[in-house]
Amino acid sequence: MKLTMRRTGAALLIALLAAPVGARGGSVVLKKAWVEKYKNRATIEVKFTIDHSHKKPNRVKDDGDDGDLHMSGRAPKAGLPIVAEIVNAAEASQKNALLFVQANEGKEAGVTMKGVWRLWFEHPSSKEQKQFDPVPKPTDTNPKHVFEVHPVTGIGPNDILKSFVPIEGFTAYNAQTAFPYYEKIPVTVQSTSSAVTLISPQSRYNYAEFVIELAGPPHKREDGYMVMAIVRDAEGAMVVDGLRRMVFVEGTKAANAVKDKKKGYRMRVLGIPRVNLEALAVLARTAGPNGKKAKLPYEMIIVGHFPEV
């Protein structure tokens, strides 16, 4: 009896210690075919049912409010609980897009939406989310999710590429805070013949401001440019050992500014992190079903650039 109690006690203690980790982290199962399709793409185009939308954009304040407009919904092509965000939503140029969102909120037929796909464990669910399993209808604008379309580049007839500029009045995380954090995010990768599972703790630091120095020429992709870059802080100090992939969306000011540039060119940018699916695919090759611990591979979506370095 005493032994059973001891064992139960030990198990309870371990469960209690493990519980907060589990509660803060999440697990998502992606189809390998989907990973292959999107690993070198900047964006995704989906039919999106807008279930809930903010009535007006977030304020822009130093406390983390970033001026985005959030909407939640379902998109069969993504196959996961999804939140979409329009950046710089309060700008006059986004007015038609916002009216369009409001007009289509709750309409089951859905709308065509294009934007940057983003996988990030910012609001993970305690339950495993499996791609292409039935996605429940969300009950608010911010359901538990790891998949986003963020930033949105177009919705319905509205092209909102002009929203890809630094957010006026918003202070992003500086490079010295954000990147060392990104570099240390752990992930366990499990792989089967058709799917790859990521288990990772909740992640932070959505927007970071940093300087990139091109390590090579920008590479043209179907819907943008990808460039390998050295990451520096505002003072020019390197903050990451090695190179990180930067994703520029075709037609944005930042993409137009970078596409002809060569090695050594520096630009100060605003970016948000997402899982690097190309590197994930490589990790998955050696992970196996039992899983391997790894550093979460990430890349930066460049939302805007500043005129001076």
Partner 1 sequence: MTNFIFLDVTLGLVFVYLLLALMCTTVNEGIAGALKRRSKTLEVGIRGMLDGPGTTGGMTAQFYGHPLVRALAEEGKRPSYIPARTFAQVLTDLVAKPAAGGGSVQEVLEKVTKLGDGPLKRSLETILQGTSGSAKLEEVQGRMENWYNDAMDRVSGWYKRGSAGWVAVVAVAVTLATNADTMQIAQTLWTSPTLRAAIVEQAKARTEKPLTVEYTNPESPEPSPPYETGVEMGKLTAEEEKLLGQLMGWGDEFRKFNRMVAEEKAGDQGKRCLAECKTAAAANDQCTADVVAGKKKEDSLACTCREVLKKIEQAGESESIPGRAFFQYCSLAGSWIWGLLSQHLLGWLLTAIAVSLGAPFWFDMLKKIVNLRAAGKAPEKDEKKKVPQGATT
Q: Give the C-alpha separation, 150 to 161, whole Å.
A: 12
Which of 35, 86, 113, 228 is in the footprint of partner 1 by CB under 8 A? 228
10 binds partner 1 (CB under 8 A): yes
Pairing assessment for the beta strands 173-174 and 208-214 based on DSSP bridges: parallel
279 binds partner 1 (CB under 8 A): yes
Q: Within 10 A of 305 (CB to CB), how many other CB atoms are there?
A: 24
Nearest residue to 203 (alpha-carbon basis) of 185, 177, 190, 189: 185
241 binds partner 1 (CB under 8 A): yes
CB of 48 to partner 1, least distance (A): 30
Range 118-177, binding partner 1 (CB under 8 A): none
Burial 254-276 (b: 16+ CB within 10 A, else e): bbebbeeeeeebebbbbbbbbbb
37 binds partner 1 (CB under 8 A): no
Q: Which stretch binds partner 1 (CB under 8 A): 111-119, 141-149, 171-179, 238-246?
A: 238-246
CB of 227 to partner 1, least distance (A): 8
Complete DSSP assignment for 216-259 = S--EEETTEEEEEEEEE-TTS-B-SSS-EEEEEETTSHHHHHHT
Nearest residue to 101 (alpha-carbon basis) of 155, 171, 170, 35: 155
242 binds partner 1 (CB under 8 A): yes
Compare residues 60 and 226 and give the one whose CB is closer to partner 1.
Answer: 226
Residue 229: is it exposed, middle or buried by C-beta count within 10 angstroms (0-12/13-18/19+)? buried
Compare residues 12 and 33 and give the one whose CB is closer to partner 1.
Answer: 12
Q: Which stretch binds partner 1 (CB under 8 A): 158-166, 190-198, 222-230, 252-260?
A: 222-230
216 binds partner 1 (CB under 8 A): yes
Tell me the residue type at 196. Answer: V
Site residue total, partner 1 (CB under 8 A): 37
CB of 3 to partner 1, least distance (A): 6
CB of 259 to partner 1, least distance (A): 12
CB of 230 to partner 1, least distance (A): 9
Q: Give the C-alpha separation, 282 to 114, whole Å.
A: 27
Binding site for partner 1 (CB under 8 A): 3, 6-7, 10-11, 14-15, 18, 186, 189, 214-217, 219, 226-228, 241-245, 262-263, 276, 278-279, 282-283, 285-286, 292-295, 297
